[in-house]
Structure 1
């Protein structure tokens, strides 16, 4: 693929800005005729025709064939060329890395789940880089066609500056720059929940909704916010720290360093902690033997036990759902969203988490406000972070 457009983008020419607009339009809409595109961009048909011809030569756009119409001349449809470039998404979970590769059009080509225990150390970062490179070397594509890699990181991440302040904050250089120098590819980073939100928005359960709250109930707890079709990141990229609002008068120290955070009683980590304590106090569960023998269990083990109708696990998930629903009701009262999506690892328990959330929302939110908010389960489930990371890798390269 010709890299002329990428060079233009770096220079910030007027032509490059219009071409980025064209790519962003096709990312959202799929394909269109030149006439339709000229109306959207408010440019003349000859201007758009010239730009499309240049982008076809560069390899980013391709002619999709003639549009079937009832009569007259059949115009050509244009859209993104799938083979013109590839994007990698890396979703760091608590006990593993979910990595995938997507073509320019947005089709997922390959994915893998690799065991990985994240630690805030240079060695752990090096291990992550080796995982990414190993995945790239398995791909049957020219490696210079990988245009960007986006890595999801939990906590406080500034996608614009490339800094992560919650983990891997070892030196003054941005983390995105450090990883890029280690693996030899362009790298961007973003908050994992924001990435999941974007994945659900472009490739999940969202239809025409433009105002959305995505609730990520995984090991931790956070929200992603979309307002008028755009991801809301906040001034420094730190929006969505839902799990760290002060909600309880307890003495449980949250990993953020404060006590009483919502996350201490309404998250995968809280379910994990309560389960281990309950079993030590004599409660019974499918996981009792493992825990009492001191064997390692994961949040995924708890999800599987819940879905096998383990009574103790169900009770803990439902309790979490009620606490979550109470505070999501507050978000609904503030934002009046069209849709609230429940995602993340704990959402894999489906109705066990959804029903208590909906019950609490009905109880604690204003009727006139919540009646217009759909409460739905994530379509992408535990693949949302990886898919969102791939899509963000593409968007970040061409965003305005």
Structure 2
């Protein structure tokens, strides 16, 4: 891993992990994390929080000011005694870059230390393949985004890249894409961009965004179901992402749920994803048209094979009967799977995102009815079901938030 542009976030060699220098290094990290969580704070409050002397804290504060990480915000308002100085983070001191890979496009976003969005680029044309050409194109797109502004590159301290499928965030390997070399994908991205990188499963990144945003941030145990071309699950247990032994926890879509002969993209038969996913929706829709059923989409496409999941969802939201029927049946099947998750995890909250969730009540109402029908009421009573707010760029923001989290919390969790 390359060194951060701010020395406080660089790892200390094992032989130096003792003594005053190391302790001060760790205390400065704690101060940064406190300011990030609490906002503007006085030296006295920091001293009390970490049971450290005011002169020592003052010295470390000055070092952090010299590093360009925090600033003196002036004197606090108080009615008694001398007014102490407040110190806070400089949002513009460092940036985090998030990259979200779709099948045919990429979204990239830049966020500062105070979580303010700096710049976003959406719908960048890209063909996601397990090839060197596709990987080099990805690196080129990232570098061109960074080079839009001469000042960005020196401030970006971490890049997070989201991919679908099986991703090991610790080793930096993706087992579905860009796995044609023994070198970890994260290392290749780091070499090509000059910035420390990590890779993450796209559903987990979105789950982390949901946890970080609005009221779900107050929930300790939440599930995020990404119902898109595939079917993914992100689990937050006690506010921490659940990865499992090798980083592959959440393969909800590959539970052998059906007794069918449909081969899943994983190579197995009968996976939940074979009948509950955007891929399944496209196939089912086209099969129904071939059987003679009708849809408003027949008037929009000369070649019906060009109909995609997003077209079907838009048609459902415009009252297309066939689209609504297929999405409803799919939601009922998903509801049975969700019931299993409720019984296993007893979560406070389950959030449904992804393209299928954009069909709103056509998807959500039959899902709710099925969950109510099949789940144990005493367990179900603890769980709230919600549609994602559908924030544009949620995957990118999730990658940015995770990048910041990894900088402030470098130990794997």
State if a TM-score over 0.5 links the two structures. yes
1:301 aligns with 2:304: no
Aligned counterpart for 1:387 among listed residues 375, 397, 401? 397
Q: Which position in structure 2 is the counterpart of 1:202?
A: 212
* 8 Å Cα contact 2:206-2:394 kept in structure 1: yes
Who is 2:320 aligned against?
Answer: 310
1:107 alignment partner, one of 85, 106, 116: 116
Q: Which residues of 2 match residues 16-165 of structure 1 at below 5 A?
A: 16-38=25-47, 40-41=49-50, 43=52, 45-68=54-77, 71=80, 73-113=82-122, 114-139=124-149, 141-165=151-175
- 1:5-36 per-residue CA deviation (whole Å, 9 max, x = no partner) reads 23455776443333333434444444444455
Q: Contact conserved, 2:313 with 2:358, CA < 8 A, in 1?
A: yes
In structure 2, relative to structure 1, the CA distance for the partners of 1:9 and 1:94 (3 Å cut) is farther
Q: How far is the alpha carbon of 1:103 from its aligned partner?
A: 0.8
Query: 1: CA distance between counterparts of 2:375 and 2:136?
Result: 46
Q: Which segment is superposed worse, 133-142 or 347-356? A: 133-142
Q: 2:234 aligns with which of 217, 221, 224?
A: 224
Q: C-alpha offsets along residues 267-318 of structure 1, whole Å, 9 cap, x if unaligned? A: 1221122112222222222322455515634333233222222222222222
Root-mean-square deviation (CA, aligned residues, Å) is 2.4
172 and 58 in structure 1: CA distance in 2 versus 1, 3 angstrom threshold:
same
Quick one: distance in 2 between partners of 1:157 and 1:31? Answer: 37
Structure 1 residue 228 displacement after superposition: 1.1
Question: 2:365 aligns to what SS in structure 1?
Answer: helix
2-structure distance, mates of 1:10, 1:139: 34
Q: 1:98 to 1:380 in 2, by over 3 A?
A: same
d(CA) in 1 for partners of 2:54, 2:380: 45
Higher mean displacement: 214-223 or 268-277:
268-277
Q: Is the 8 A contact 1:276 1:291 kept in 2?
A: no
Distance 1:65 1:297 in 2: 60
Moved more, 379-388 or 119-128: 379-388
- Which residue does 2:184 correspond to in 1? 174
> In the alignment, what sits opposite 2:269?
259
CA distance in 2, matches of 1:119, 1:106: 32
- Deviation digits for residues 91-131 of structure 1 (CA, Å, limit 9, x no counterpart): 11122111111111111111112122211111111111121
The alpha carbon displacement at 1:213 in A equals: 0.7
Q: Is the 8 A contact 1:9 1:17 kept in 2?
A: no
Say which is worse superposed, 198-207 or 9-18, in terms of deviation: 9-18
State how far apart, in whole Å, the 2-side matches of 1:320 and 1:48 are: 58
Give the TM-score taking structure 1 as reference length: 0.91
Per-residue deviation, 1:77? 4.0
For the 8 Å contact 1:279–1:291, the answer to whether it is kept is no
Deviations 1:80-99 (A, max 9, x none): 21110111100111221111
CA distance change for structure 1 residues 230 and 273 in 2, over 3 Å: closer, same or farther? same
**How far apart, CA to CA, are the structure 2 residues paired with 1:286 and 1:245?**
34
Change over 3 Å in CA distance of 1:73–1:213 after alignment to 2: farther
Give the Cα separation in 2 of the matches to 1:7 and 1:134: 26
Distance in 2, Cα, partners of 1:32 & 1:299: 50
Partner residue in 1 for 2:352: 342
Instruction: Identify if the C-alpha distance between structure 1 residues 170 and 43 changes in structure 2 by more than 3 Å, giving closer, same or farther.
Output: farther
Query: Which shows bigger deviation, 241-250 or 71-80?
Result: 71-80
Q: What residue is the counterpart of 2:6 in the other structure?
A: 3
- TM-score w.r.t. the length of structure 2 is 0.89
